[in-house]
Amino acid sequence: MGVTTVTDVRPAASPEFSAPFEPGTPPPAAPGGALQTLFRTEQGGHEQVVLCQDRASGLKAVIAVHNTALGPALGGTRFHAYASEEEALLDALNLSRGMSYKNALAGLDHGGGKAVIIGDPELVKTDELLLAYGRFVASLGGRYVTACDVGTYVADMDVVARANKWTTGRSPENGGAGDSSVLTAYGVFQGMRASAQHLWGDPTLRDRKVGIAGVGKVGHHLVEHLLKDGAEVVVTDVRAGAVDRILDRHPRVTAVADTAALIRTEGLDIYAPCALGGALSDETVPVLTAKVVCGAANNQLAHPGVEKDLSDRDILYAPDYVVNAGGVIQVADELHGFDFDRCKAKAAKIFDTTLSIFARAKADGIPPAAAADRIAEARMAEGRRT
């Protein structure tokens, strides 16, 4: 097993931060490929990128450490069948940058990092491959702390943790916090409450119509929070079974055929994208009926500029990486001996953080997404100075 460090360049004392790229696809490569992007464009600026290969297990992976100004980089491991190694590298750069911003605004003493494993997890995932990956994480000596992401699960992290001590998202039986979707949903609910406070003067969703696209691990918990608060809930999901489970358990919930129908629902107050990235695009924003967008999906803005389109339509956008931070708050707590009540109290602060972003946006005359970036960048810059 060998580690190839592509770059290990520490930022200067006063780095310039570039906002995390949207959406759920990698940022476009600069002419010259991924290394050109890394070294010579504003999408770069990473401290360290490691290419990992273990021929015996078939592992091919990328670990990207974007920023450690606030502490060790923390971010999940994505397992995906990328079209090319270049695409995988670009995705790691994008995702790790986003984690720097998310962790900063969550108030965590962690920088941003992310790993991607190349391959179809249904076909190539084995314990041997996960253990090989865990050894690469160990080789960084704690600069990067890993967790679950798309294509990896609690059981996988239990295996990875056998090879290193810098793994979170493990099962309770192995000293971990288990499913992080519980607090992810709770944090999104707090973001919705803050949005209601800012827009309507009352932090309740009672009698508000909320549309949720995606009622899987996070979405079904969010439904329960909303119903308990007195909201009217409309759902959709590409998986009929997921919708059926919600309707069987909560007869008051209604369903629509697809996201296209959901975003056009008459009288919709809040739209909650809780599935794939890129939900807010040139096609969807013009037809949104909701006054607020606040959901759990990562990378909701399809490209830079969509946040201004939302603002121009007087649609309040609660930045995704702010409101969906409950999960990373939970896994970070594992490093200190997991305590659910302590984590829930931290996740509850997403309400105050979201309100502060809206206030900053109003004061500066900018969209909330830009305000969130500025606040996160200021915290990272302060961390670098200290």
Burial class (CB in 10 A: 0-12, 13-18, 19+), 310: buried
Listed residue (90, 82, 85, 5) closest to 44, CA to CA: 90
Q: What are phi and psi of 272, to 5 degrees?
A: -120, 95
Q: Please state the length of the chain.
A: 386
* Phi, psi values for residue 323, rounded to 5°: -80, -20
Give yes or no for a contact between 200 and 270, defined as CB atoms under 8 angstroms apart: no
The strand pairing partners of 50, in sequence order, are 5, 63
Q: Enumerate residues 6+ apart whose C-beta is below 8 A from 197.
A: 203, 355
User: What is the pairing mode between strands 111-118 and 144-145?
Assistant: unpaired
DSSP-derived secondary structure letter, 169: S
Catalytic residues: 114
The answer to whether 193 and 231 have CB atoms below 8 angstroms apart is: no
267's torsion region: left (phi>0), alpha (psi -120 to 50) or beta? left
Helix (H, G, I), strand (E, B) or coil at 44: coil
